Structure 1
C-alpha cells in the first residue's frame, strides 16, 4: 500500500513498518482522533482464502477482548475493497529482539521486570482461553519508557498454517517452539510457558538455546536435546533464577509450571537471599516419546543363557536323554480353535448380502425413511443440523454415506436440515463500532459503515443501525449498516469579504457558528464585509465564534467611540428551568448534565439597533463582556441583555463619559 492512501476515509498511510507471514503492517494517521496508529493488512495472496479471512476476523474479535497495559490495543477492524484490516495501538520503540541485542547484558532485576510484564499479559490471555502459540521476542514491543507490550495475539493461529512453506518465517519462530508443537501436536497454555522459558533464556544469555541450518534441525533439538545451562554461560546467575528456565522448558508439559501465574510467582523471588542455597531443578526422568532400539546382545541374552545351562547327569555320569516336549501340539490345537472361530464369524457375515446405501439427500424425512427401508436397511438416529444450502426439513446426508456398500439390516443415520442458523441482532446503538462490527463479521454478517458528525455522541460510537434489534437474520445473506459518530463537525471557513451582513448571518446559522460584528469606516458600501477572523480557509469546529468587520461607509460625522464592560451574572435556577423547557420542546434531545445560561446581547448605537442580536453566547459562570459603541457626538447609546429569554440588564443612556 502506497503512502498517503487513506483507508476507509480515516487512516492515512505514512510508511511500512514490516511484513509478516500473514499480514503487512503500516504506520498510519487517524485523521479523526489525530493520532498515530498501526494498520495491519491481510496479505494480498491470502485475501481470496475464505478460511484465512474468517480466522483473521475471528481472532481480531478475540484480540479486542484483551484489555491490558502490556497488550497492544486493537482500535478498529474493517474491510475496504476486499482488504481486511486491523487498526492497533502504535508503540514507538523496538521489539525485544532488538532490545536484547542493543542492551545486553541486561541486569537480572530488569530481566525479571520485563518478564513479569509479559507474564501478566499472557495470564490475561489464558484467562480468556486464548493461546498465543507464537510467543517470541519479535512479538514483544518495548516502548520508550521500558514498558513491554505483546502483539499478534491469536493471529498466530492462522499464521501457523502458512509458515511451513515460508522458510524465513519458520526460522523466526522455531527457536521458541515447544516440543509438542515441533512434533505437530496441539498447542496448550503450557506450550506458551515453554516459549516464555526460552525468551527468559535469551534475556539472560543474549542468544537462543538451539541453533541449526534448517528449521527441521532446530525443531528436532527442541524435543531431543536438553536446554543448555544459563549458569554455564554466566556463573553469577542465581540457581533459583536458572531453575525458572529449567522448569518452564522441560520436555514433558506436565513437568512445567501449571499456570503462567505460578511461573511469575517463582520468578519474583528468584533473586531473594532466602533461595541462595536452592538445589538445581531436576524433573522426573522424562520419556520423550521416541522409539527405543534395543541392543542386539540384549535380545540374544535369553537364548545364550539357555544354551549354557548344563544338562543333569544320571548316576552313571551319563547325561540323561532329553524327552521330546509336546508343547508344539498345544500351539497347533490353539491355532485351529482360533481359525474355526474366525471361520464361523466369516460364514455368519457372509450370510448377509451387501447392499448400497440409497442417496436420499434432498428428500423429506418420510420419503428418506421409506427409501432406506426399501433397500433392506434400518433407519438409525435422526439428527438435525443447521444448513444454509439445504432447505429446512430436507435430508442433508446419511451415515454411512450414499452409494457406500454395507450389509443388509445395517443402521443408517439420517441428518435433516433445520434451516440456516439464524442470528438475533442486538441493539448496537451506543456501543463501540469496532467491537460490534468485529462480532458480527465473525459470524458472517456483512457490516458497512457511514460516518456522521456529532457534538453529543463520542467518536466511534454507533448512532443508528439499518436493521432493528431483535431481528432474526441469516448471517451470510445479511448486510447491516451502522451510522457512526465522527465527532464534532469541522468547518472550513468560506471567504466572507465582500458579502453583506445578512449573508454572513445566514452562513453562520447554516454552519452552526457564532458571529460578532465590528464596524469601521471604509470606501466600501455600508454593511459590506471588509475583514474576518479567523481567515478564510481556516478549519474550525461547530460552535466556534468568528468576528466579522463591516463597513460603516464613508465617514460623514464626528463619532464618539468607546467600550463598556458589563458583568453578566450566572443563574443556576434559570439554567435548570431552561433545560426543562428545552427537553419539552425537543423530545429528541437529551438535557445536558452541565448547567448553562444562554445569553443574548442587543446594542443600540449608530451601527446597531434592538431589532438584531449583537452577540449570543453560553455561560456556565459569571462572565464579563466588552461592548463597543459608536454614537454621534453628544448622543447616547444603549444595551439590553437577556438570560434564557428574560431581560436581566439594560441601559438606554450609555455615553462616553457615563462608564
Structure 2
C-alpha cells in the first residue's frame, strides 16, 4: 500500500506503521471525520487463505464487542478489491515493550497504574467471555499521556467456540505463554492471568523470566522452572507486590487468581502499609493427585531402564533353557515330601495376609477422611447489601465476614458491598471467612472533551461509568452520528451518578418523510425519532378521543417532509377534560440559579437547562436553555388542575442542582 492511496474513497494512507505475520498496519487519515486512524490490511499473499480471513474477521468481531477506554476501538470494517481491512483508533506513542526499554526502571506506582488499566481492559474482555490468548507488551500500546490500550484480538476466542488446535504449533508468544498452553491444552481466563503476571514481572525487572535458544526450551521452562524472585532483582520491591507475580504465574491454574478483578484488587493495595511484613506466597498443596513433571534427565534415565528391561525379557523368551537351568541349580535334586499349600508357599501366604490388612487400613483411612472432610457451601450473592445484612446472610451458610476493604464506586451506593472474595456462587468450606469490598460512594472525575467523536461509542463508555446520557439532533455537514457539542464543560469535575450530559449529535443533511405519530406511545415516538434523527418536543393536553399516555396531535402533521435534526411537537393525552369544578390554577415558581466559576480559560458562561411538568409540559422535555454569567432567577409558569402536582429539575453544566417532585400552589412565588 503506497502513501496517498485512498482506501474506499475515505481513508488516505500516510505511511506504514509496521508489518505482522497476518496483516500490515498503516497510518491513515479519515477524510470524512478529519482524524488520523490506523488501518490494518490483510497481507496480499494471505487474502485467498480462508483460515486467515476467518481469523481476521474474528478479530473484528471480538473488538466490536468490547467498548473500554483501555482497548483500542474499532471504527470500520471493509473490503476493497479483495483486500480485507480494519479501521481502528490510532494510538500515538509506542508499545509497552519499547516503553519499558526507554523508561526502565519504572516507579512502582506507575507500574501499578499501568497494570490496573490493563487488568481493567482484560476484565471487560473476560466479562464478554473473550480470552485474548496473546497478551504481551508488544500488544499493549502506551499513548503520549501514559495510558495503556490493548490491541490485537486476532487470536482471541470466545468460550462458546471450539478450541483452535494446530499440530506442533503454539499460538501466542512463548515468553508469555501459560504452562497449560505450552502443553497444548485449551487456553482459559487463567491463561490470560498467567500472561499478565509475566508482563508485571517484566515491568518490575526489565526482562522476561525465562530465556532460551529455542521456543521449545522456553516453553519447557514455563512448566518446569519456578518464576525467579523479583525481590532478588530489587530488594526494594515489597513482598506483597512480588506475591501478585507469584500467584498470577502459579503453575496450576487453580492456584492463580479466580478472576482478573481479584488480581486488580490485590495489586492496588500492594504498596499499603497494612501489608508490610506479608509472607511470601506459596501455592496450596494439591495432594497426591497433583501432576508431577519429571526433569528431562529423569525422563532419559527412565527410558534407558525400560529399554534394558525389554531387552532382558526378549532374551528370556529367546533362551528359556538358561532361565530354567539357573533356577534348578538352587534346588536339591532329591524329591521332597508333599506339604500343604501354606507350608509350600509361606511367602505368598504372608503377602496375602499383609495385603489384606493393608487394604483394610486403606479403606478405613478413606472412610475416615470422607467423614472428617469439611462440608462445602456456595458463597451467596452479596453485591448491593450492607455489611450488617451480609453478615446475617453469610451466617446462614456457616460463613463469616473476613477482611473489609473500602473503595470508591460509581455503580454501587455508599456503604453497600461492591464485591466479595471469593465471589458469588464459588464453593468454599463452611466456617470460611469471606472478604468484602464496600463502597465509599461515587468519586469525582474530570469530564472529557467528546466533540467530533462517535456518539454511540461515547454513550456506551459514559453509561458504564454511571453517567446519564441524552442526545439531541442538529442538521450538520459532518457525518451523521458525530458529536457536535456537549453541555458539560470539558475538564470540569463531576460525580458520574449525579450528572446528566446532553450531546448535540449530527443528523446529517438529509430530509425525512414524517409519519403520522398520533395514537403512539411516548416510547414508540422516541424510538422513531432516534432512528430518523429528529427531535421531539412533548406537550400535554386533554383529549376525549385518545386515552391517557398516547399522542393525539402533532406539528408538523404526518406526511410532511422535514430536515433531519429539526423538532416535531407532539401532544400527549392526559385523558378527557375534567369536570368544570376542577378548573386549572395558574401560578409562577421562581428558583435562583447560582453561577459557578469555571476553571477552563475558554469557557466562562454556565449552561443551564430547565425542565418542568404541569398540565402542558413534561419533565423529560426541555423547557428552556440559557447561558448565565452571574446568579440568575428562573421563572416557571405552572398550570395544574384539581389536586394534581407538578415537578421541576434545573441542570447546570450537566449536573442537577435543583429539583422538586411535588409542586403545588403553595410553592408559588410572591
TM-score bin, normalised by smaller chain = 0.3 to 0.5
TM-score by length of 1: 0.47
